[in-house]
Structure 1
């Protein structure tokens, strides 16, 4: 069995390798191919050598291949995982910093940051899909690249790849947080998830099949659960009235003013990550290091290996367990198009995720989910067509943007800032033509 990882030089790769080692008996991978671009070759070699040391220490017969040739990596693959960043962290820093000039949040999957990361990323993922059709037509595409929901939406709507699942570590992180707060094993916890990527809600919370939602809302509504979103707590009255468990990314929508103020007073997350990655790769270089270092958790990739390898193992073994993934809605959430991507609890089978029917979302959350899904669909269309006006419209309807005028100003400035990675706008748009 062959697994190809696009963006193999990522600092997250040791998480993936750890998961492959831990689940080898259930998921016997023979070849792991790590592929990256020329600019990532140094990191690929560093993290690839660490991966080889980890596997050697574990004594599992997985062979690791490092390459800059994507076709070579994809040929004959059974699973393709994607974890790349078009424009690297420098692009993320622009995504975050430029919108703040207009007092708008620029986080990488929300608002202007999410828009422009999608505009850069979607053409690349669609190129990968075209290559997969020829080189590994039966492979599963497991996408971890953000914005995961919009990337999955683009693959579903604009490629011939049907075996695609988008993945995020937020749902499993929420489950782990419940397990920690209630002092139980993770296997005893199940949350009924529904919504969109980074806009997912826990509609109910179970321990041993018994609902503990009310107590979970009380305990877990106290603080954020992910490393890159800190410093804000929910108002108890609000969270009780909401009646469902939000994820940390909801802070950007329900506490926009506070989050903007905090962002304007601190360094960007991209700047923090750049520093963390420098430290991580120095650790990775250590020839005596042969395990995933604990510092990686600070990068924000906690439970990545659990989520990614658990999903692939369940597909491979037709486990039919329940996991929250990004997949085609297929009527699971009423009011969202059948063919659109949603993040929802699914039964994981050898034929892929089968969404559990949710029906109508609670009225308190349905409006925001519908608004963001409209933003996502327009963003995907703009990314594929290079339609400038669609990009402005997408940002204008996003709740983080105060007006269509501000949306246009941000889009204009960010198009110029990311010009090298957005050829579709400069070749097809009347406004952006060389």
Structure 2
């Protein structure tokens, strides 16, 4: 099997390598290609990756290339983990919205929109190369944010693609630890859009039966659950669900903004972590992932990615949380919208599992953000200031014309070098 990581020079790649090494019985990789335009990062990351494989006794070959076409030729699976503009652009995404008292975040709000505008055209170019050069039945796994918008862009162009996020697997591990059971004994009723999801059920398999333990968790561990997502306990009680951390940007917007205005951006923090990691990777005696990698984010991503690859290539049919076409699952959204829900993973298709009817307040927010996402993708594909302004105005974290105009012009000025139509 040939697996390709586009964006393989990321400092996070050794986390994936660790997963490939530990879980090689689950996913027998013969060739792993790291593709990246940065030769320095590629050399450092591939070096530690090869040493990690050697330490684990993994017989797979790790290859590198700066050419997407070379890397993806005859690939079975291509994983996309891109950051167009690097941490510098991310810093802009996390700070320019502050000018009009909006939160700055790299996957949602005005900052997430900027990332979508930079990213979608590049991803679609890469996907066309994959279509031409990879195996005819190759899968594209998108871990590039904003995952929902990028995955819909891929599906809209007919690519064999699925989006992946680590929020659900993080919750699964959290609930398993709370119950002192194996993570395989926990499944989730996870629903919403990428980075706009709730856990509406936590299903424990025990003694041959399955029961929803969320009500007892909300009763007995409420304060702990609320602290974990950094939102008021009363909100979890009101909704009878556990919102993902990313809903904090909506439900506690002013609190988050106040925190952001007095702290360095996450991009600044990550830049320091990355510099430290790259220095570690340069040490030719290092053959395990450094402890600092845990500070980089993306917990359990390697397990989620490898489970998904294994099921896509071996037709396991197990249920995993992915970003997939709606196709009537949430009746208030168009069929072609991309939602984040549990689906059975086979080699031919993704079979979405039944979803419980959502309370009105959840459906309303999902519908509002979905409307923005559709406008955002239209702007990313076709360009134009008016399209950007319409999408900005539609986002529930903006919603005012004067703010939307200011944010649009600031976004375009900061990202002009990344947007062909705006140069």
| TM tier, smaller | over 0.9
Aligned partner of 1:319 in structure 2 is 316
Distance 1:404 1:6 in 2: 38
**Secondary structure of residue in 2 paired with 1:141:** strand
- Note the C-alpha offset of 1:259: 0.5
2:13 matched residue in structure 1? 13
Q: Is the 8 A contact 2:48 2:281 kept in 1?
A: yes
Counterparts of 1:365 and 1:98, CA distance in 2 = 28
Specify the alignment match of 1:408 in structure 2.
405
Structure 2 gaps, min length 5 = none
The answer on whether the counterparts of 2:26 and 2:307 sit within 8 Å (CA) in structure 1 is no
Q: How does 1:240-259 map to 2 (within 5 A)?
A: 240-259=237-256
Local SS of the residue matching 2:91? helix
Contact 1:156 1:340 in 2 (8 A): no
- The residue aligned with 1:379 is 376
Map Cα deviations across residues 9-62 of structure 1 (whole Å, 9 max, x no partner).
00111111112122222321111110111xx22111101100000011111111
CA distance in 1, matches of 2:50, 2:173: 29
2-side partners of 1:216 and 1:321: how far apart? 26
Matched, 1:221 2:218: no
The offset of 1:318, in angstroms, is 1.4
Paired with 1:404 and 1:360, the residues of 2 have a C-alpha distance of 33
1:69 & 1:139 partners in 2: Cα distance? 18
1:62 alignment counterpart: 60
1:23 aligns with 2:20: no
Residue number in structure 1 paired with 2:108: 110
Give 1:362's aligned residue: 359
The question of 1:96 aligning with 2:94 is answered yes
Report the equivalent of 2:304.
307
Check the 8 A contact 1:393/1:404 in 2, yes or no: no
- Equivalent residues in 2 for 1:189-200 (5 A)? 189-200=186-197
SS at match of 2:101: coil
1:129 and 1:160 in contact (8 A); partners too: no
Q: Distance in 1 between matches of 2:49 and 2:292?
A: 16
Cα deviation digits, residues 291-338 of structure 1 (max 9, x gap): 122221111121010110011011222111111000111212221111
For residue 174 of structure 1, what is the aligned residue in structure 2?
171
Report what 1:269 is aligned to: 266
How do 1:83-162 residues align onto structure 2 when only pairs under 5 Å count? 83-136=81-134, 137-157=136-156, 159-161=157-159
1-side partners of 2:381 and 2:172: how far apart?
A: 35
How far apart, CA to CA, are the structure 2 residues paired with 1:217 and 1:67?
49
Match of 1:228 in 2: none
Task: Name the counterpart of 1:430.
Answer: none
For 2:281 and 2:298, the matched residues in 1 are separated by: 16
TM superposition score normalised by structure 2: 0.95
Contact 2:48 2:287 in 1 (8 A): yes
Residue 133 (structure 1) shift: 1.5
**Separation (CA, whole Å) in 2 of partners of 1:217 and 1:277:** 37
Q: Deviations over 1:335-394 (max 9, x none)?
A: 111111110011111113211122532212111111111111110000000032121111
Question: What is the DSSP-based 3-state SS (H/G/I as helix, E as strand, rest coil) of the residue aligned with 2:226?
Answer: coil
| Structure 1 unpaired stretches of 5+ | 226-232, 427-434
Matches within 5 A, 1:204-219: 204-208=201-205, 209-218=210-219, 219=221
Q: Which moved more, 1:293-302 or 1:45-54?
A: 293-302
CA contact (8 A) 1:189 1:206 kept: yes
Q: For residues 301 and 295 of structure 1, what CA distance do their matches in structure 2 show?
A: 13
Q: Following the alignment from structure 1 to structure 2, what is the Cα–Cα distance between the partners of residues 267 and 354?
A: 42
Q: Secondary structure, in 3 states, of the residue corresponding to 1:101?
A: helix
Partner Cα distance (1:123, 1:192) in 2: 33
Question: Whole-Å Cα distance in 1 between the matches of residues 422 and 152 of structure 2?
Answer: 20
Question: Matched residues in 1 for 2:147 and 2:74: separation?
Answer: 24
Q: Deviations over 1:213-266 (max 9, x none)?
A: 1133352532235xxxxxxx3222221111111100010000001001100111
Distance (Å, rounded) in 2 between the aligned partners of 1:30 and 1:352:
24
| Paired residues, number | 415
Q: Distance in 2 between matches of 1:222 and 1:276?
A: 28
Q: 1:166 touches 1:326 (CA, 8 Å); kept in 2?
A: yes
SS at match of 1:418: helix
Deviation at 1:138, TM superposition (A): 2.1
Output aligned runs, 1:21-60, within 5 Å. Answer: 21-37=21-37, 40-60=38-58
Q: CA deviation at 1:409?
A: 0.6
Deviation at residue 402 of structure 1 after TM alignment: 4.6
TM-score (norm 1): 0.93
